[in-house]
């Protein structure tokens, strides 16, 4: 069974954030995800989840100054304390909102930091985050992202992400596999999912090029969905795409999964 979660950072952006929960529910979504909740009160978000009978699948750890170009801080040795503080802020929200997962965006390689320094810092930070999220009963995810959309993003392929996960060696840390990002970086989507389903904690989708709805690009989503369904994947797939037009008119591809 294919379980789709609406990504409220990208979908239903015709309305302000707190109104997107009801929009998602009106289209028969049963779960949501988004980048960050931190500009809103925990209670307001919880109220929207409850009022609309929605499950919170994930949100991201604080990722630095987003407006200034940060896309995570986990590979920056000078921001270790900031990262740790962010873990605890995320867990404060998680204690109320109750997501299944928290995602770590690792960030871009800062000038003056070597690859080996970045890798060591990331592992140290993920060990810290995995221990604290495990105690709170929330899974931790790490996500490789393509370097066309985010130049300099340090973690950009599946093999390196799996190597990091193995070195952290905490079963609470899983892979967030974004089909769109990995199609750009490496392709081989179906085989990669099949070979690593045991370590994939969450998936996300969009077509390529354009990062729009499935069916607008080169990816064979009917076959990808068929394969995922045949493997009895019990997790969620986040719809992290940019609607070509208004969100609702672009949901024809998802109707069989939402009804």
Please give the positions annotated as active site.
Answer: 143, 240
Distance CA 165, CA 43 (A): 33
Closest to 58 in 3D by CA, of 133, 147, 153: 133
Q: How far is CA 31 from the centre of its chain?
A: 13
214, 205 contact by CB (below 8 A): yes
Beta carbons of 205 and 189 less than 8 angstroms apart: no
Q: Other CB atoms closer than 10 Å to residue 255's CB: what's the count?
A: 10
DSSP string, 11-75: TTTTS-GGGHHHHHHHTT--EEE-S--TTS-HHHHHHHHHHTT-EEEEEEPP-S-GGGT--B-TT
List helix spans (H) across the chain: 20-26, 42-51, 80-97, 115-136, 158-168, 179-185, 189-196, 221-230, 255-258
Q: How far is CA 161 from each of CA 56, 144, 155, 166, 224, rounded to the nearest angstrom? A: 24, 7, 7, 9, 21
**Exposure on the CB side of residue 109, measured as CA atoms within 13 A:** 17
């Amino acid at each position: 069974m294919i379980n789709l979660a609406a990504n409220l950072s990208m979908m239903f952006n015709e309305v302000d954030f707190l109104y997107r929960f009801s929009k998602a529910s009106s289209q028969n979504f049963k779960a949501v995800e988004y980048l960050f909740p931190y500009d809103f009160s925990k209670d307001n978000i919880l109220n929207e989840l409850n009022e609309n009978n929605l499950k919170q699948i994930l949100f991201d750890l604080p990722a630095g100054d987003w407006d200034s170009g940060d896309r995570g801080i986990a590979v920056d040795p000078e921001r270790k304390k900031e990262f740790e503080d962010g873990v605890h802020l995320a867990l404060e929200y998680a204690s109320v909102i109750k997501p299944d997962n928290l995602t770590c965006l690792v960030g871009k390689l800062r000038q003056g930091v070597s690859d080996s320094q970045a890798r060591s810092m990331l592992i140290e930070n993920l060990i810290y985050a995995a221990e604290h999220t495990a105690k709170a009963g929330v899974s931790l995810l790490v996500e490789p992202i393509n370097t066309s959309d985010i130049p300099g993003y340090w973690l950009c392929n599946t093999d390196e992400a799996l190597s990091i996960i193995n070195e952290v060696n905490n079963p609470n840390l899983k892979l967030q596999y974004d089909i769109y990002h990995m199609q750009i970086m490496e392709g081989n989507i179906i085989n990669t999912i099949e070979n690593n389903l045991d370590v994939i904690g969450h998936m996300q989708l969009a077509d390529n090029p354009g990062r729009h709805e499935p069916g607008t690009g080169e990816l064979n989503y009917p076959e990808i969905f068929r394969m995922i369904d045949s493997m009895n994947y019990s997790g969620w797939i986040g719809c992290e795409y940019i609607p070509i037009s208004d969100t609702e008119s672009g949901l024809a591809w998802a109707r069989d999964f939402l009804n």
